[in-house]
Structure 1
Amino acid sequence: MDTLDREIQTPNSGRKQGGLDREIQTPNSGRKQGGWITFPFIIGALAGLTLAAGGWMSNLIVYLIQVFNLKSIDAAQVSNIVNGGSSLFPIVGAIIADSCLGCFAVISIFSSISLLGTGFLALTATVNSLRPQLCIDGSSFCKAPSKVQFLVLYAGIALASIGQGGTRFTLATMGANQFRKPQQQGIFFNWYFFTLYTASVVSSTAIVYIEDNLSWGLGFGICVAVNFIGLAIFLLGNWFYLHDKPLGSPFMNIARVMVAAFKKRNLPLSPLSEDYYDEHNQAMTLEAAGPTNSFRFLNRASLKAEGDIGSDGSIAKPWSLCTVQLVEDLKTLIRIFPLWSSSIFLSTPIGIQLSLTILQALSMDRHLGQHFKIPAGSMIVIVLISTSIFLTLIDRFFCPMWQKLIGNSPSALQRIGIGHVLNMLGMAASALVESKRLKMVHAYHLQSQPTSVLPMSALWLFPQLVLVGIGEAFHFPGQVALYYQEFPASLRSTATAMIAMIIGIGFYLSTAIIDFLRRVTSWLPDNINNGRLDHVYWASTVVALVNFGYYLACAMLYTYQNVGKEVADSSG
């Protein structure tokens, strides 16, 4: 975890952090607020909420197939949509927290929504009338769920996904807001990610095992209980928190720049810096007196015109005039957008692999010894474990070795590039393993027996998951560092949530791709033993290869905006 500590602390040397230096309300100055006294409450809440989310999300595909009689590919599609939604909602939570409600209110509301959703799921597992009649293995006359059963099920999934997504990264922001020093914030982020991964591993193993071997009702009931405990722990810490005051959404400022530039599209640009409105304040520290020459058409947004400025020197028409800093912030986002888009297509093959790997595991021998059977929903925990292990190995061994050979530590762009390569290798390994599995299916004549288990160990799936996990250990911290360094100060509070947005879009794209392949090919029938899942993986490998080429082009053309200045500041 030292890697994440280093990545997060480096960008903040010698300057304030956007989002973390916001105005703090301390209504009761007579008591100590903020600091490490808040740590147990925030980390305890994170642990409870992560356990609850992982307990039902990790095993959702199996639950839909075994309890609600959904077809395997349909269940995988639902899982992809759920993963995408829970990854998109962090950015929604961050925007709401920044613009109007603040972190505490957002976490409290979304945690309650998550509790309600997991409660609905627990009801579907315990109340007989809320789920269809149990389907006998191999039967072709399985009863589909009724409209009411689907309504309760999807309401629970939707509420639980929204709640989980709205709290995950908002908790990280609120936790960092409790500390003033970058070093303390870095230590907090270390523990945040450690808790996130540890709780995910526990939920994907222990709770999933209970669901598969004891009772779905008991497993989902545990999810409800730990969600409630996490919410209660968070609320109990209210007495000690520093509460952030919402300062307005930075995305509104981006819209202002575009509107103002469009309104003044016919005005000629001036070569004089004094003709542009430049107002320095705590949140915006642009050193240049005038706008830069890149994307010059946007400079009109800060070009002064009659009536734009009031008698006191402030902006009289906010949708007609913006500061030079706001214009430059938008330019920074435009420059980084190609790199950001390449990360979307990095997440898409991973979304395809994670959902289809569970279907592979269901058809393979998952026994370890005579008495223990690996739950299919726990297979993805290999990704979490390998990521956690290699985060430390990369920091202790890879980075020092890289520095000895190259002369400096690997940059954020280099780390992301290595993650791209490992992702491609993971997809290729998936294709090779599936080819071997299909050969055994044909050898044992199991094409028409979807419930039969191959005499092929599910451990064959581990290498592809390990490769993807190692890739995440490279590209995930690399993306955290890149966006945190390069995003404008006014947007750094949502920079990390943008990574979750990338993952969400990637999962939705993976869902669309799977649906497209089902329509135009015969690769993904309901019985994967009759399909060509290996072709899907090879297609994902090709997509990853093309995207890697696109990433290389973007990375070579990209010029760091803040890293050089950061290094100079830290050395000075």
Structure 2
Amino acid sequence: MEPKKSQNNIVFIKHSKRGGWTTTPFILGSVLTLTMTSGGLIGNLIVYLITKYNVKSIDATQLFNVVIGCMSLFPIVGAILTDSYYGSFAVIAVFSFVSLLGITLMTLTASLPSLRPPPCTNKLLPCESPSKLQYGVLYAILGLACIGIGGTRFTIATMGADQFEEDSNSIAIYFSWHFFMFYVATVISTTVIIYVQDNVSWTVGFGICVVCNIVGVILFLSGRKFYRKSRTKGSPFTGIARVITAAVRKRKVSSANHQYNYDINDKSTTIPSNSFRFLNHGALKIESDDLKTRTWSLSTVQEVEDLKTLIKIVPLWSSSVMLSASIGMFSNFVILQALTMDRHLGGSTFQIPSSSFLSLDVLATCITICLLDRLIFPMWQKLTGWSLAPLQIIGLGHVLNVAALVASAIVEIQRLHAARDHHLTGLSMATTAIVPFSALWLLFPLTILGISQAFLFPGQISLYYQEFPTSLRSTSSAMISVIVAIGFYLSTAITGLIRKNTRWLQDDINDGRLDIVYWVLAAIGVVNFGYFLVCAKMFKHKLDKQDQTLDNVSSS
């Protein structure tokens, strides 16, 4: 067994019996069960808040957005801990136990009535709100869940990819299977578990999540002898900070009579690229620099190029923030729409849980990923001789997202017409009246949204994994989560702004104009797509950057 120095910050331990596809049953099994845990906890949270905590509908969606935002921020914390200090295995193990604690305590809120306000029995009277203590307990539990679920979600994705060699095509295949398992687990949690919560018992439903979490922990720990482990070598962010500090200190130093400090292992790059030339000063060697010890006055060329890569990718990354915000608002409003629609299948007494409608979105994503990976992309490459780049795949996701919002607006217009035709608007009731309009119409926008996400998220994680510096691989995967976090926080702010300045969003959505909200989001999506096209046009891939650097070397 010998170390393999393939990354700046992480030294992989090379072992003939470790890594590869042998590890995937343990990793993907953990992804399946841990995702079922998070889906069962979060997927029906809006309904749980409305029915058990007497929270008003729009307030419940805003609280849900905050929870998702927090849950999506913690992956970046997990990524930093992984890349800088403890490695993937330790971080995933610890955070999965925190997740288990959170879901166990959530089960207690369902089983102990003292932790919730009294049930709302009279629909004509206002319901009693939770006490400060009850809110405090709920927030603490949701905080633990955010830390536990967020800390494992994208760290485990990167750990799975790290089991393969960097030049192996297996990484792309692994990511496809990872997202497939993720979406399959989401479908199971948003159908089976949510059905149990709505029709059997919330305690039993959350209890199933506890069992899933325990199984996930056991599966993950069982594969510890097969994982390709890594030793961390300090924070890569320290090197980035060193570049900025050194560049500022040497801003007046001319590069004419000085050499650049480059890594011994970096044989292809001896001078930095021409972009963001100011940062190149950080790698200039002067007489006062001590090359034997790392100081804050000298960085390496590789550290300079890593920082440039991050700067170049930020505009492209930011184009997905508004996209995430619209997806968050769409998902929340679909649940509120389903709560007010006829959810029966035909003439049967079976009623689909409102939160389970989101499984249609996830199911469409699963099917689309399989078709893209096994049929459409190979056929496209065979017919044209070239494959779609990640940016092109993401662009298709933008277009389909706008189409989903347009379809949602059309469905909502028809739902409001049915509500007015049956005189279900303007009623003073604690809950919204059910409109005799089939909730199955939501299938169309949800399917389009699911197809769009099959293009968006795998395309984004593939792009960032390829383009980010190798020392920030875990961070690159977590960047998707940061997009989701900022997007959901932004959706909370947008929802609050709309409520404050218009009457489009009412607690009784039969009295509002949710269709106008969808049209506004679609218009914003069109503008955001234009911004994405500009960013994609200006973006320089890592390969282009290396070619440019080599040209600089030859010309010098």
Q: TM-score by structure 2 length?
A: 0.91
Q: CA deviation at 1:459?
A: 1.0
User: Contact conserved, 2:75 with 2:151, CA < 8 A, in 1?
Assistant: yes
1:444 equivalent in alignment to 2:422: yes
Q: How does 1:170-569 map to 2 (within 5 A)?
A: 170-180=155-165, 182-265=168-251, 267-271=252-256, 275-281=259-265, 285=266, 287-309=268-290, 313-317=291-295, 319-369=296-346, 370-399=348-377, 402-403=380-381, 407-447=385-425, 448=427, 449=429, 450-562=431-543
Distance 1:82 1:268 in 2: 49
In structure 2, the CA distance between the partners of 1:179 and 1:137, relative to structure 1 (3 Å rule), is: farther
Tell me the distance in 1 between the aligned counterparts of 2:280 and 2:164: 37
Query: Does the 8 Å CA contact 1:18/1:492 hold for their aligned counterparts?
Result: no
Return the offset for 1:458.
Answer: 0.6
Q: 1:120-131 to 2 correspondence within 5 Å?
A: 120-131=105-116
Residue aligned with 2:341, SS: coil
Partners of 1:48 and 1:412 in 2: CA distance? 29
Q: Is the 8 A contact 1:120 1:152 kept in 2?
A: no
**d(CA) in 1 for partners of 2:164, 2:239:** 27
Amino acid at match of 2:44: N
Unaligned runs of 5+ in 2: 548-556
Work out the CA distance in 1 between the residues paired with 2:172 and 2:398. 26
Give the structure 2 partner of residue 94 of structure 1.
Answer: 79
Shift of 1:187: 4.5
Shift of 1:34: 4.1
Q: Distance in 2 between matches of 1:35 and 1:417?
A: 32
Q: TM-score, normalised by structure 1?
A: 0.89
CA contact (8 A) 1:56 1:223 kept: yes
CA distance in 1, matches of 2:372, 2:22: 32
Q: Is the 8 A contact 1:307 1:316 kept in 2?
A: no
Q: Could you tell me which amino acid in structure 2 is paired with residue 96 of structure 1? A: L
Q: For 1:25 and 1:409, how far apart are their aligned partners in 2?
A: 33
Q: Give CA-to-partner distance per residue, 1:461-518, whole Å, 9 cap, x none.
A: 1111111111111122221222122222222232122112112211111111111111
Q: Which whole-Å CA distance do the structure 2 matches of 1:489 and 1:323 have between them?
A: 15
Tell me if the contact between 1:121 and 1:156 (Cα under 8 Å) persists in the aligned partners. Answer: yes
- The residue type paired with residue 126 of structure 1 is S
Segment of structure 1 superposing worse, 228-237 or 103-112: 228-237
CA distance in 2, matches of 1:236, 1:556: 46
Residue 180 of structure 1 and its aligned partner are, at CA, apart by: 4.1
1:135 has 2:120 as partner:
yes
- Structure 1 residue 437: Cα displacement: 1.1
What amino acid does structure 1 have at the position aligned with 2:236? P
Runs of 4+ that moved beyond 6 A: 563-566
How far is the alpha carbon of 1:315 from its aligned partner? 4.3
Shift of 1:455: 0.8
Provide closer, same or farther for how the CA distance between residues 385 and 16 of structure 1 changes in structure 2, counting only shifts above 3 A. farther
Classify the secondary structure of the residue corresponding to 1:455. strand
Moved more, 439-448 or 473-482: 473-482
| Displacement after TM superposition at 1:375 (Å) | 0.7
Matches within 5 A, 1:56-71: 56-71=41-56
Shift of 1:277: 1.2
Whole-angstrom distance in 1 between the partners of 2:455 and 2:38: 25
The worse-fitting range, judged by mean Cα deviation, of 485-494 and 165-174 is 485-494
Report if the CA contact (8 A) 2:17-2:226 is conserved.
yes
* Partner Cα distance (2:5, 2:408) in 1: 44
